Amino acid sequence: MFKERVLTALVLAPLMIVGIFFLPLKQFAIFIAAIATIGAWEWANIAGYQRNWSRVLYAFVVFLCLYISARFLKIHGEYLVYYLAVGALWWVVAFALVKQYPGGTEVWAARPIRALLGLCVLIPMWVGFMHLKQQPHSSLLIVYVMLIVWGADTGAYFAGKRWGKAKLAPHVSPGKSWAGFWGGLVTTLLVALIFGLCVDHWVQPMDMQDALRLLTITVVTMVISVLGDLVESMMKRHRGIKDSSSLLPGHGGVLDRIDSMAAAVPVFAFFMLVLDWNLAA
């Protein structure tokens, strides 16, 4: 299992590096759309659509929605904030669903509802990536979101392993603990501090207001990234499956790798807009 995980990571890492740092906007849009479409194929299974044709059809519908969104936002870019607002609002709803679980499943247990929730996850993710890609220092911003997610995961793993007795959401993901959450938060704050110092030194001066806005965006993004993982775990637990698919040997499916990012990216992009924070060209 460990060998498979390492080999898969060695293949995926260069692909992500090329995608983030070297692809121009149009090709990057296709790259993220391809990831989202594969994720949609897996989400269809989580939603309860087991036949291949129904999963392919759902993936096609998601891809079509991404295409329509791209065309619409190209003409009406002022509506970007509303796309991201819907994506952020979904995670507020998702928090309530996770908090109630295993109660409240009657609200979302129907396959069409779960399919609709997949759109709420995947489309804002793509839109968020597109917004970040069009910003000055776009690669730095995207890598920073990844560092927020990875910092939360890494801090949670070590703190949870050492002190993880009180469970964060025992009915959803028994392995997650409050100690892990706080450990992830501390690690993320450290990442934010280092990032802010690097930005101040090499990109643009950071005053106290900039630092507070960056801190706010980072903390909210970190919390939502944890929620993204919990939502997928909840959906898989309800469906009775361990992984979203077996596409990535040793890692499960694409969704299993991007669930936290799918939550973090649109929320990060949304709060960048709302708080009017960005990096100067």
Distance CA 25, CA 13 (A): 20
Which domain covers residue 48, as residue numbers?
2-274
Residue 100 in domain: yes
- In order along the chain (281 residues), what is the average pLDDT of each group of 10 residues? 57 81 94 96 95 96 97 94 94 95 93 96 97 96 95 93 92 94 97 97 95 97 96 94 84 88 97 95 77
Tell me the pTM.
Answer: 0.95
Predicted local confidence at residue 2, as pLDDT: 44
What's the Rg (C-alpha) of the chain? 18
Structure tokens at 105: 């499943």
Q: Which helix (H) or strand (E) holds 174?
A: strand 173-177
Q: Is residue 245 in a domain?
A: yes
Does residue 182 lie in a domain region? yes
Q: In whole angstroms, give the CA distance from residue 123 to residue 67.
A: 10
pLDDT of residue 16: 84
- Whether 281 is in a domain gets the answer no
Q: By the 8 A CB rule, do 213 and 277 touch?
A: yes
CA pair distance 266, 199, nearest whole angstrom: 22
CA 96 and chain centroid, separation = 18
Domain membership flag for residue 150? yes
Give Cβ neighbours of residue 164 (< 8 Å, ≥ 6 apart): 177, 178, 179, 180
Q: What is the pLDDT of residue 168?
A: 95
Q: 3-class DSSP state for residue 5?
A: helix
- The C-alpha atoms of residue 96 and residue 139 are separated, in whole angstroms, by 33
Q: Is residue 279 part of a domain?
A: no
Q: Count up the domains in the chain and report the number.
A: 1
Does a structural domain hold residue 186? yes
Number of residues in the chain: 281
pLDDT given for residue 17 in this prediction = 83
